[in-house]
Each structure stands twice: as structure tokens, then as C-alpha cells.
Amino acid sequence: MSTYKDIFSLKGRTALVTGSSRGIGASIAQAYAAYGARVVLHGQRPGATAEIEKAIRAAGGDAVSIHRELSPPSAGRDLIAAAEGAAGPLDILVINASAQINGALHEVTPEDFATQIDVNLRSTVEMLQAALPAMAERGWGRVVNIGSVNQLRPKSIVSIYAATKAAQHNLIQSLARDYASRGVLLNTLAPGLIDTDRNAARRDGDPEAWSNYVRTLNWMGRAGRPDEMVGAALFLASDACSFMTGEAVVLSGGF
């Protein structure tokens, strides 16, 4: 790194941000583009990322979109191949897309279990298998896994989701050790409650109950915003993060 003002620059880097059609993923993708990265947007359905791609291009950034479901076998490897086919070798991988199905453990169906395991864990393994060796060969890479405070303090209503998030970070820690000497750094960003579409039904269904809940949830007394995840995500993807790997950065408002 040449000067301190350049340590957050992503100029010349290519980043894939999974689940970047909305919420945290969309905010991270737009920030990476603003800092110079070529961004590969990912959504489940065709057209899902159109508005984010349009916004990035309107701001002078560079973005392309690909669309894949992450639940089928080999979906993670296929996604990496598609991203590299569209934009070239990946320098940065943001694992953000996830499945969260709320319910007590006795209510979890085999389908609910399989969906969360496949999307949150199996596709993560496949993406890491496909992306890490090439990053290591080039001598530089960043993986930013979007975890959850539930990996540390799980709630029973999201027991399977929480378990998959804990497993994701376990993977990040074990692989961080293997790849550290080859310039590839892997870390987890663990958000607390963020006001996204995922929470819209609960928020809009009973606004008063939602307000009371978030007021007592953390020291700040509110839910976070997707854009408040951007600073840490930018740090973890840049040269500023040159001496950090295998860690979890928790952004929870003091939860």
C-alpha cells in the first residue's frame, strides 16, 4: 500500500456480492463500486438486481448481474464460474445470501432444514472450494462472510439458521489459518437486527410491538440500517485489513 488514503481503495479489484438485490448486500455492492471495484451482483431471479445495477452505473461504477438459486447441488461452484465468466478472476467474495426460516425446533420441517443447510452452508462450502485456490495462486484475496449475532447468541426461534451461521464462521476460521500465508484473508461480519425486507412483516404487522422490541434490544435502542454495515465490509475487503484474518466483527448496536 502506497499511502494511507489509498488503503480502502478497491480500484482494480473484482468483487462478487451474493444476495445483492436488496438490503445489506445491495448496500455493500454499491459501496464497493463507489470505491473502485468491478462488482458482480447476484440475485435469485432474473431482473432482481436491475435497480442496483442501474444505480451503480448511474454513479459511474461498474457492475454486471448474474442470477442463480443457491439451493441446488453445485450451485455455489456454478455461481463462482458464472461470476468469473462475466467479470474475470475474483479478488473479493462476499457471502451474503442466506435462508432464514423462523420457528421453534419442533416446527422445523425436513424441507425447512434442507433449504437452510443447502443455501447457508453447502453453497458456502462450494463457493470457497471454487474461489480460494485461484485467489491463493494470485497472492491476494478477501472473503467477507456475512454472519449474524445468532452465531454467538442464538435464539431458539432461528435455531437452524443460527447453527448454519456458526458453522459458516467455523469454516472461515479454519480456512483463514490455511490461506493466511498466501495473501487470502477471510473474516466474518456479524450484524445484529437490521431493518431489512426480511423483518418487514414483523415491523409492519405490529409497529408498536416492533418499536418496543427494538427499543430494548441493544444499547442504541433501535434496529440497524443496511448502510451501517458498509464501513466494516469495506475494511474487510481492502488493504486496510492486511493484518486481520479469521475474526468476527460484530455490528449490533451493543446487543
Instruction: Indicate which residues carry an active-site annotation.
Output: 161
DSSP 8-42: T--TT-EEEETT-SSHHHHHHHHHHHHTT-EEEEE
Handedness of CA 74, 80, 83, 89 (dihedral sign): negative
User: Is 53 in a helix, a strand, or coil?
Assistant: helix
Q: Number of C-alpha atoms within 13 angstroms, CB side, residue 3?
A: 2
Is the separation of the CB atoms in 171 and 125 below 8 Å?
yes
Residue 123 CA to residue 134 CA, distance in Å, equals 18
Kindly state the DSSP code that residue 60 receives in the 8-state scheme: T
Query: Could you give the C-alpha distances from 44 to 50, 71, 100, 141, 146, in angstroms and in order?
Result: 12, 10, 15, 25, 17
Name residue 180's amino acid.
A
Grid cell in block for residue 26: 445491495
